[in-house]
């Protein structure tokens, strides 16, 4: 065998090995991206469930909570009032109108049934935990002053994002719902 044939075979084998590692590297990156999207979708779904509970808690109790036990207890045993609102408009002699608003309480409905009964395989005791982990979401609730008005705010945040881009700057871009400094119940993925 000549040197040319030997070198051709060696280079051919080297090209196949390099191509294999190149394709494998690309396939790994694609699989990793799919895994990150799948895990983040699970975290977002859990944050939406937590947001529903926090909004219900605030509507009934007048403030948000930063205590997981209080939130879970409220969802488990709390009730919403079912009300009916009616308005009566009374014309005045001087051309204006007066509006009388009547709100009647018709009954109550359990918070759990209202918010979570339709969610398949929902486990209330797992609400504070990241999906597939024993790590709890970070929860914060407080009152802040916005333009001379004291308002309630809350934030629930993923403590350890799977996405490396979200881990930058001390998890500054981590998936979260609500805000510590703004009056919002939106998630940063929306």
Percentage of the chain lying above the pLDDT 90 cut: 22
Percentage of the chain lying above the pLDDT 70 cut: 97
Return d(Cα 101, Cα 109) in angstroms, integer: 23
Confidence check: pLDDT of 88 > 90? no
What is the Rg, in whole angstroms, of the alpha carbon atoms belonging to the chain? 28
pTM of the model: 0.76
What does the domain layout of the chain look like in residue ranges?
3-178
pLDDT in tens, 74-84: 999 888 888 88
- Contact (Cβ atoms closer than 8 angstroms) between residue 68 and residue 136: yes
Instruction: Work out the pLDDT band at 73, boundaries 50, 70, 90.
Output: very high
- Classify residue 43 as exposed, middle or buried by CB count within 10 Å of its CB (0-12, 13-18, 19+): buried
Beta partners for 176?
A: 157
């Amino acid at each position: 065998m000549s040197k040319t044939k030997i070198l051709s075979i060696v280079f051919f084998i080297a090209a196949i090995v390099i191509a294999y590692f190149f394709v494998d590297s690309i396939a790994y990156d694609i699989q990793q991206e799919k895994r990150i999207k799948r895990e983040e979708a699970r975290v977002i779904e859990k944050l939406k469930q937590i947001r529903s509970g926090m909004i219900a808690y605030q509507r009934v109790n007048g403030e948000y909570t930063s205590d997981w036990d209080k939130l879970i207890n409220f969802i488990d045993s709390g009730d919403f009032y079912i009300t009916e609102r009616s308005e009566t408009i009374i014309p005045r002699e001087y051309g204006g109108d007066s509006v009388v608003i009547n709100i009647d309480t018709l009954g109550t409905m359990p918070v759990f049934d209202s918010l979570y009964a339709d969610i398949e395989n929902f486990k209330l005791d797992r609400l504070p935990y990241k999906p597939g982990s024993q790590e709890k979401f970070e929860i914060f609730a407080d009152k802040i002053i916005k333009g001379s008005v004291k308002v309630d705010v809350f934030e629930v945040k993923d403590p350890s994002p799977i996405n490396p881009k979200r881990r930058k700057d001390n998890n500054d871009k981590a998936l979260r719902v609500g805000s510590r400094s703004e009056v919002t119940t939106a998630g940063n993925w929306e």
